């Protein structure tokens, strides 16, 4: 049970004042009793002296009558006793009963009176009359005999007076106590009100309320405490604001990092994670201090994170969801660890591309160079017949052209990738460029292909670059289409998008699904043996992709193995675009067939 601070304070005041009132009543009653007893004894002693005088001057042997005479004058019980303790006269008994009274020699006042010359006193309840009495005894002489004259005064009036005084003092004390307690209660509330306000203010402060202040107090110590607490609140608010600002700045800085950052407590709970790490691990909102095992799904990463809080430093490369991630952990001095996650998937891909490029370039250069060297050495060392010599020279020329084309493609790709080539902005008729590119492509092959083109569009681009794009796409289509196969070019316009869409399709061998995402890479071939038989360099589609991108378009490929391939790309339209009707498309298709 919780108590308010003024409750024990009030109870303490109540106990002290109640104790004081009780002690006052007891002390007053005790002092009053002592004082009244002294007065009563002195009065009883004067009456004894008077009774002794009456007894010594009575001259009568009837002591019982003398006792009654004294009682009639003093209203007190009188007993006359000889030295052997025998009662000779008793004022409260019949004369016939006096002889039956027990011996009084054992009474304390009688013994004390017989043993000295002063008046002896004693208090007790009389066995004879059954009342509390104050006994006083003194020695008297009658006819040469020593007698004990004892007088007993009832104490009922004394007790009644003392009880009345104690009752009056008690009532007065209780009234005083009640009035005092009302004042004490008000004083305790007034004294504890600043403390209650301080407690309330501390509770609000714990809930984050820094606005309310502790009120002033007239008590100097409480006022100093209120001032110190208010100053502490202001300082705490300033410190917390500074910490919040630093925390936000740190979180912003961490979120801006390209690397993923995960901070763990010493028991492997997530303390902080930045945006890059959440994106890499595909995590949403994470509860603060959530265990790693309930958040991280990848078993290898989870084991590495749990191990990081127990080991100083560690670094490794792991696979997460098909991505290469470089993981580095560092233990913190106060416990826990910080782990960084760097996505190096693209770096690994580029390394593979570089290795493939070196291998493919070396192979592409080695094959024609080996042929040229072999034929040249044969021509130098031997004297072959004229027809064989011409065949060797033709092969040398073909391989030299192949090398030149490879070097030209490498140079073109290098210029495109380095930004050394800028597309010209001119209006170009796509249907004319398609026909021009097909004329060049078909002239370089003896096999017949069924070719058609449909649609017209005027685009804003580089004519030479567009010719190069169509030549590469048509040469690829010819290379992967058997004789008698079909190649179609469809030009479509979308005025709402401001783009012309071109589809270059063939019904050739198609591209495997696993190879489709990589066909725009340098030197990549879905079927390297067939491409080399037809003299492909593996750079054509990479050049096409860069040319399309330089002119503000996009390119994609669709294919199904054994059912042909479609390469689609877009080019921005010129300001005026002519739509082509279906009949015009058919007419253009008929006029565009060359084989």
Domain ranges of the chain: 6-160, 212-255, 257-343, 348-415, 422-592
Question: What SS3 class is residue 580?
Answer: coil
Residues 6+ positions from 54 with CB-CB distance below 8 Å: 66, 69, 70, 73
Candidate from 60-64, 210-214, 374-378, 530-534 with smallest mean pLDDT: 530-534
Q: pTM above 0.75? A: no
Identify the residue with better confidence: 378 or 556.
556
- Nearest alpha carbon to residue 578 among 482, 459, 450: 459
Banded model confidence at residue 70, pLDDT cuts 50, 70, 90: confident
Average pLDDT of the residues in 462-466: 90
C-alpha 75/C-alpha 382 separation (Å) is 182
For 277-295, what is each residue's pLDDT tens digit?
A: 888 888 887 787 888 888 8
Banded model confidence at residue 592, pLDDT cuts 50, 70, 90: very low
Q: Quote the radius of gyration of the chain (alpha carbons, Å).
A: 64
The CA dihedral of 515, 517, 521, 525, to the nearest 10 degrees, is 20
In terms of Cβ atoms closer than 10 Å to its own Cβ (0-12, 13-18, 19+), residue 17 is middle
C-alpha 341/C-alpha 351 separation (Å) is 19
The reported pLDDT for the residue numbered 577 is 45
In terms of Cβ atoms closer than 10 Å to its own Cβ (0-12, 13-18, 19+), residue 252 is exposed
The reported pLDDT for the residue numbered 590 is 47
Point out which residues pair with 388 in neighbouring strands. none
For 127-182, what is each residue's pLDDT tens digit?
A: 766 778 888 888 888 877 888 888 888 877 777 777 787 788 778 878 887 887 78
The reported pLDDT for the residue numbered 584 is 45
C-alpha 97/C-alpha 90 separation (Å) is 9
C-alpha 441/C-alpha 452 separation (Å) is 14
The reported pLDDT for the residue numbered 35 is 78
Average pLDDT of the residues in 86-108: 83
Confidence check: pLDDT of 314 > 90: no
The reported pLDDT for the residue numbered 555 is 93
Whether the CB-CB separation of 104 and 87 falls below 8 Å is answered with yes
Cα-flanking dihedrals φ and ψ of residue 124, to 5°? -170, 170
C-alpha 109/C-alpha 107 separation (Å) is 6
The reported pLDDT for the residue numbered 476 is 87
C-alpha 473/C-alpha 430 separation (Å) is 14
Banded model confidence at residue 90, pLDDT cuts 50, 70, 90: confident
The reported pLDDT for the residue numbered 290 is 86
Output the CA angle 30-31-34, nearest 5 degrees: 85
- Kindly give the pairing relationship between strand 450-454 and strand 565-572: unpaired
Outline where 309-385 has alpha helix (H): 345-381
Banded model confidence at residue 428, pLDDT cuts 50, 70, 90: very high
Strand ranges inside 206-351, DSSP E: 260-264, 269-273, 290-291, 313-320, 323-331, 337-343
Cα-flanking dihedrals φ and ψ of residue 337, to 5°? -160, 160
Average pLDDT of the residues in 319-334: 84
Q: What is the CATH number of domain 348-415?
A: 1.10.287.130
Banded model confidence at residue 582, pLDDT cuts 50, 70, 90: very low
Confidence check: pLDDT of 74 > 60: yes
What is the chain's percent helix, strand, coil content, to nearest 5?
55, 20, 25
Point out which residues pair with 140 in neighbouring strands. 147
For 379-419, what is each residue's pLDDT tens digit?
A: 887 777 888 888 888 888 888 877 877 777 777 777 766 66
Q: Name the DSSP class of 573.
A: B
The reported pLDDT for the residue numbered 2 is 54
Confidence check: pLDDT of 527 > 80: no
Candidate from 5-14, 76-85, 351-360, 557-566 with smallest mean pLDDT: 5-14
Banded model confidence at residue 588, pLDDT cuts 50, 70, 90: very low
Banded model confidence at residue 85, pLDDT cuts 50, 70, 90: confident
Q: Mean pLDDT score of the chain, rounded to an integer? A: 80
Point out which residues pair with 502 in neighbouring strands. 491, 569
Q: What is the DSSP string of 439-504?
A: HHHHHT-SS--EEEEE---EEEE-HHHHHHHHHHHHHHHHHTS-TT-EEEEEEEEETTTTEEEEEE
Please give the share of the chain, as a percent, with pLDDT higher than 70. Answer: 89
- Nearest alpha carbon to residue 301 among 339, 272, 330: 339
**Overall fold of domain 257-343:** Beta-Lactamase (3.30.450)
Banded model confidence at residue 594, pLDDT cuts 50, 70, 90: very low
Point out which residues pair with 81 in neighbouring strands. 87, 148
Confidence check: pLDDT of 518 > 70: yes
C-alpha 226/C-alpha 197 separation (Å) is 9
Identify the residue with better confidence: 311 or 481.
481
SS (H, E, C) 158-209: HHHHHHHHHHHHHHHHHHHHHHHHHHHHHHHHHHHHHHHHHHHHHHHHHCCC
Candidate from 257-261, 307-311, 361-365 with smallest mean pLDDT: 361-365
- Nearest alpha carbon to residue 201 among 179, 184, 185, 216: 216
C-alpha 58/C-alpha 532 separation (Å) is 174
For the chain, the residue count is 595
Point out which residues pair with 317 in neighbouring strands. 326
Tell me if domain 6-160 and domain 348-415 are identical in fold: no
Q: What is the CATH number of domain 422-592?
A: 3.30.565.10
Q: Is CATH 3.30.450.20 correct for 6-160?
A: yes
568, containing H or E segment: strand 565-572
Q: Which residue carries 């595909």 as its tokens?
A: 282
Whether the CB-CB separation of 565 and 558 falls below 8 Å is answered with yes
34, containing H or E segment: helix 6-58
The reported pLDDT for the residue numbered 521 is 79
């Amino acid at each position: 049970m919780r108590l308010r601070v003024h409750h024990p304070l009030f109870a303490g005041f109540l106990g002290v004042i109640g104790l004081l009132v009780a002690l006052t009543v007891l002390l007053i009653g005790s002092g009053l009793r002592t004082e009244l007893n002294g007065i009563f004894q002195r009065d009883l002693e004067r009456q004894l002296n008077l009774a002794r005088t009456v007894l010594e001057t009575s001259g009568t042997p009837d002591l019982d009558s003398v006792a009654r005479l004294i009682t009639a004058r003093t209203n007190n019980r009188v007993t006359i006793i000889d030295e052997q303790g025998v009662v000779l006269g008793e004022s409260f008994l019949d004369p016939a009963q006096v002889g039956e009274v027990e011996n009084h020699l054992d009474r304390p006042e009688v013994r004390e009176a017989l043993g000295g010359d002063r008046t002896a006193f004693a208090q007790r309840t009389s066995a004879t009359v059954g009342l509390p009495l104050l006994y006083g005894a003194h020695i008297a002489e009658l006819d040469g005999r020593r007698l004990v004259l004892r007088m007993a005064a009832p104490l009922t009036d004394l007790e009644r007076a003392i009880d009345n005084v104690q009752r009056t003092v008690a009532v007065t004390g209780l009234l005083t106590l009640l009035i005092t307690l009302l004042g004490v209660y008000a004083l305790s509330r007034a004294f504890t009100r600043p403390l209650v306000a301080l407690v309330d203010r501390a509770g609000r402060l714990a809930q984050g309320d820094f606005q309310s202040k502790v009120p002033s107090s007239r008590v100097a110590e409480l006022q100093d405490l209120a001032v110190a607490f208010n100053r502490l609140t202001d300082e705490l608010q300033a410190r917390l604001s500074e910490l919040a600002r630093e925390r936000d700045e740190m979180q912003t800085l961490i979120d801006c990092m390209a690397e993923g950052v995960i901070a763990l407590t010493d028991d492997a709970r997530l303390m902080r994670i930045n945006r890059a790490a959440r994106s890499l691990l595909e995590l949403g909102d994470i509860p603060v201090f959530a265990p790693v095992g309930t958040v991280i799904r990848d078993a290898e990463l989870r084991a590495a994170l749990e191990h990081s809080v127990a080991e100083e430093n560690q670094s490794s490369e792991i696979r997460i969801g098909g991505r290469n991630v470089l993981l580095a952990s560092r233990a913190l001095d106060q416990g826990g660890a910080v782990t960084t996650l760097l996505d190096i998937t693209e770096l690994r891909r580029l390394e593979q591309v570089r290795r493939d490029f070196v291998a493919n370039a070396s192979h592409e250069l080695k094959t024609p160079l080996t042929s040229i060297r072999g034929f040249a050495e044969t021509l130098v060392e031997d004297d072959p017949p004229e027809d064989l010599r011409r065949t060797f020279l033709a092969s040398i020329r073909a391989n030299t052209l192949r090398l030149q084309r490879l070097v030209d493609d490498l140079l073109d790709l290098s210029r495109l990738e380095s930004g050394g080539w800028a597309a010209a902005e001119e209006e170009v008729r796509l249907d004319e460029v398609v026909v021009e590119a097909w004329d060049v492509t078909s002239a370089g092959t003896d096999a017949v292909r069924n070719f058609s083109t449909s649609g017209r569009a005027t685009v804003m681009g580089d004519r030479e670059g567009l010719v190069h794009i169509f030549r590469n796409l048509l040469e690829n289509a010819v290379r992967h289409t058997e004789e008698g196969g079909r190649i179609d070019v469809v030009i479509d316009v979308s005025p709402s998008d401001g783009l012309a869409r071109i589809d270059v399709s063939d019904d050739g061998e198609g591209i495997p699904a696993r190879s489709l995402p990589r066909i725009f890479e340098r030197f990549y071939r879905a079927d390297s043996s067939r491409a080399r038989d037809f003299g492909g360099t593996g750079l054509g589609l990479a050049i096409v992709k860069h040319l399309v991108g330089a002119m503000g378009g996009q390119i994609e490929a669709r294919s199904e193995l054994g059912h042909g391939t479609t390469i689609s790309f877009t080019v921005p339209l010129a300001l005026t675009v002519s739509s082509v009707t279906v009949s015009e498309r058919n007419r253009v298709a008929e006029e565009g067939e060359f084989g």
